[in-house]
Amino acid sequence: ERNSSSTEKLSPEEAATIIQAHYRGYRTRRQTKKLKKETMDANEAELEKAATKIQATFKGYKVRKEVKSKDEEKQDEAEPPNAVEEAVDIDLDDPNVEKAATKIQATFRGYKTRKEITKENE
Q: Which residues of 82-96 are buried (b: 16+ CB within 10 A; e: fewer)?
A: eeeeeeeeeeeeeee
Contacts from 67-70 at CB under 8 Å and sequence distance 24+? none
pLDDT in tens, 69-101: 998 888 877 766 555 555 667 777 888 888 888
* Cβ atoms 97, 90 nearer than 8 A: yes
Domain boundaries, the chain: 92-122
- Binned at pLDDT 50, 70 and 90, residue 13 comes out as very high
Residue 32 is predicted with a pLDDT of 93
**What's the Cα-to-Cα distance from 11 to each of 1, 17, 18, 23, 45, rounded to whole Å?**
14, 10, 11, 18, 51
**Least confidently predicted of 3-7, 30-34, 47-51, 87-91:** 3-7
